[in-house]
Chains A and B, each alone.
Chain A
Amino acid sequence: MDHHLPGNSRVRRPRVTEKFASFAKKEGRRVLQYYDGAFRYRIVDAFRDNHRTASENPHMSRIPLIEPEEAPPEVRAVYDKFQASGFRIFNVMKMFGNNHRFLEAMYSLTEGVYTHAKLSPRYRELAYLRASQLNSCHY
């Protein structure tokens, strides 16, 4: 797996590193990746099989999940707001970390539905879960 580490020519080209990003999962390794228009270090997992695709492995995001420790300040600020409201930073939020404006919108929406709602949590969850079930959502 050493050929994936920073400094190796195989991870210098954006095309390769973007692909590489989709194969990486978090586990506390620092690797060089291309995102937001520049090469940056991200903390990623041990690598999965380099030749598998997302569709072959349903438990692999097609887009990098932006971890709090490597998030740009505007993204980190919203993660902090989520945590201040009592939320863990779920992978779906890390996905929205790729676009901080929509992450912010998600924060408002999530807080509105979950934190400040007057609706009984039972009815909220019945509605949410039934909709997700019908949408074939496995998240």
Chain B
Amino acid sequence: MLGRSIGLSDDEMGSMADAENNPLFDTTDRLVLRYAEVLTRENRVSDDLYAALAARFPREELVELCFAVGLAALINRVHATFQTDLDAKTRGSVGDASFCPIGR
């Protein structure tokens, strides 16, 4: 799983929804998660949120962050439409992850 491969723990991935109160996440983690959530749910980024992002990330990285959320949205829509088979390796690696709905 890509999250694990870059060092995210199962605990971290499992508690992203409640990052604000979780000591596993630092200020920047929470900012990134809040941005991903707001962009996905509302697709409206307030001046305050943008200012916080712009204070933390250089412009080039801001574009990358935006595209990471956008790429997820695109791939998610592809899967919703075509019900693309899960790769065997992915299925094997997430089978024991409690936060992951795959296989349920």
Contact surface of A with B, Cβ cutoff 8 Å: 25, 54-55, 58-63, 65, 88, 90-92, 95-96, 109-110, 112-113, 117-119, 121-139
Contact = CB atoms under 8 A, between A and B. Distances in A.
A17 to B, nearest CB: 18
Interface of B: 2-3, 6-8, 13, 16-17, 28-29, 32-33, 35-37, 39-41, 57-58, 60-61, 64-65, 67-69, 71-87, 89-90, 101-102
A59 B78 CA distance: 14
4 nearest A-B residue pairs (beta carbon)? A137-B76, A131-B72, A135-B76, A121-B6
Nearest to B61: A119
A61 B84 contact: yes
A133 B85 CA distance: 18
Nearest to B104: A138
A31 to B, nearest CB: 17
B79 A113 contact: no
A60 B79 contact: no
A61 B82 CA distance: 6
- What is the interface of chain B mostly: helix, strand, loop, or mixed? helix
Given A131-B72, A133-B16, A61 B83 contact: yes
Contact of B84 (A65, A117, A118): A65
A131 B86 contact: no
A127 B36 contact: yes
B57 to A, nearest CB: 7
B74 to A, nearest CB: 8
A115 B29 CA distance: 21
Nearest to A132: B72
Interface hub of A61, A63, A65, A92 (most chain B Cβ within 10 A): A92
B36 A109 contact: no
Given A63-B84, A126-B8, A127-B36, 19 more contacts: A62-B83, A90-B90, A95-B84, A110-B71, A112-B64, A112-B67, A113-B71, A118-B58, A123-B29, A125-B8, A127-B72, A128-B68, A129-B8, A130-B37, A131-B40, A133-B16, A133-B17, A134-B36, A135-B40
